Chain A
């Protein structure tokens, strides 16, 4: 009896999580511009409309650019910081880690407004570069968390062995540290890319005339006739996200199985 109740609870929970999301693909194929039941027929015209929407494609391009640059920079900063934190005894490490993670606990809207004020004070223009800077504040803590976990299982003797075999610090990094850290680096790239791609508030405040995709979609919601096109776009993004998350999980599991200590 008890297990039956738990089963129903679990089902309800999953439904709550995923039914709203499933409306997206369902209505994106519905042959009506009104989002309401009953469904009126199957169509792909909203997807066709996407192909013709150059403004939307430009926004998508902006989002990809911002996402890629943010992911690369955050992961690079995260990698060097994680190596320092795990492999050297430094003073103030804990305080440093706390400060780096703090932006995660500041509401994005506060972050967005403060960055907007800062840009104004410095007389800098609103731009995608400003969005990247804002996104990095949020993404570096994620990258750091993923990479510290990876470094903690790393056998320092391997780097010493490489030095002993004649390789300098830089070559040791490329030949030993980097390949062994690869699963962690990829996981960090995916996580930070998705975080940046998703982000709305900071981008809304800082992007100026160059809208990112979430900002563009927000703008489209004022026009009811554009809504089905937005749904089609949402459905596409959803499927790409699902694929990316599955990839990230597979990578993470492979990383766990493959030992990093000297065999």
Chain B
């Protein structure tokens, strides 16, 4: 049975649909991310799970219990707000202890529990610090501790690292993942940062326009995006128009225009694709190779328009004849001269429906 189940949930604000018949199933203990551009409905979906918004239709259930009519203060969820929402009139200790009042713990037990949580988020000894004397990273940790100390069944995180600078964000990503493994609580993260989603999550749902486009593991999402939007949103991708010529059991042959006739594994094509369909062939910049100009067959001649040195690798934009958009190539071997030949290994080409 699914731990969190969102089923056909829709929500509109003033007649404008924001979340549109969304289905999600999350397993217990999973680190799950909702990834999408701002305004795609991911935060509204999160707020419906927390109970701050009511779905217009559909059901949300947690651990087998339907939550639709349960008010936020009675749900087994806790949330880390994007703004952190640390109570400004309370110190760090009282902020973390805020949600424990109902347990009516004896003073020493309460103290022990808060101190243990302070240690988990590495804020030992800062219990007496006033809320307005905390750095951004410390606020983030207090917000996390305040939610985790209640031992929720499900922790909701709304762009938790968005307000931090890059270095701190990377440190907190590692820590967040470690904390999730340690406490074993199911995490549901909302983010517009694909790198954050890829590095943290077990599975990711990519959202756009209030709909879920694809749910998959980070690797699968990167290697087998199911539509152009997902491919565009996760990393960088080169697209070429093509037409399917032949469909065999294990392979498919397509006319890829500039790339010539290409035979690729049939598993690389989206399942909906049929013979004679107009499709998009997609390939990641790191899969495009520089080949020897005269030696190899199937190479496409091009001119390097720009080269950017990025440390462990370099990024190139290569102009090829008959195409206005340059091809993105990423690699660690810089070619000699500016005239190059590009090779597109068929096993790395993905076929997507051109409507998507």
Contact = CB atoms under 8 A, between A and B. Distances in A.
Partners in one complex: yes
Contact of A259 (B51, B79, B81, B132): B132
B88 A261 contact: yes
A263 B84 contact: yes
Nearest to A182: B89
B81 A258 contact: no
B122 interface: no
Contacts of A157: 81, 83, 85
B77 A164 contact: yes
B102 interface: yes
Nearest to A175: B98
B88 A180 contact: yes
* Chain A to chain B: the 10 pairs with minimum beta-carbon distance, closest first: A165-B99, A262-B85, A161-B85, A157-B85, A263-B131, A163-B72, A263-B86, A163-B73, A263-B88, A164-B79
Contacts of B150: 165-166
Nearest to A169: B73
Interface string A148-168: 000000010110111111111
Query: Which of B81, B131, B147, B150 has the most C-beta atoms of chain A within 10 angstroms of its own C-beta?
Result: B81
B52 interface: yes
A263 B132 contact: yes
B83 A262 contact: yes
Interface in A152-203: 155, 157-158, 160-168, 175-176, 179-180
Nearest to A161: B85
B93 to A, nearest CB: 14
Contact of B87 (A164, A166, A258, A262): A262
A155 B72 contact: no
Interface of A: 155, 157-158, 160-168, 175-176, 179-180, 258-263
Contacts of B132: 259, 263
A92 B258 CA distance: 64
Contacts of A179: 89
A260 B90 CA distance: 11
Contacts of B71: 163, 168
A160 B85 contact: yes
A175 B95 CA distance: 11
A260 B85 CA distance: 10
Contacts of B146: 161, 165
B174 interface: no
Contacts of A259: 88, 132
A258 B98 contact: no
A165 B74 CA distance: 9
Interface string B247-291: 000000000000000000000000000000000000000000000
A262 B88 CA distance: 6
A161 B139 CA distance: 14
B89 A180 contact: yes
B50 interface: yes
Interface in B118-155: 131-132, 134, 139, 146-147, 150
B78 A165 contact: yes
B73 A260 contact: no
Given A165-B98, A167-B73, A258 B88 contact: yes
A168 B131 contact: no
Interface in B52-111: 52, 71-74, 77-79, 81, 83-89, 98-99, 101-102
A161 B81 contact: yes
B73 A176 contact: no
B72 A160 contact: yes
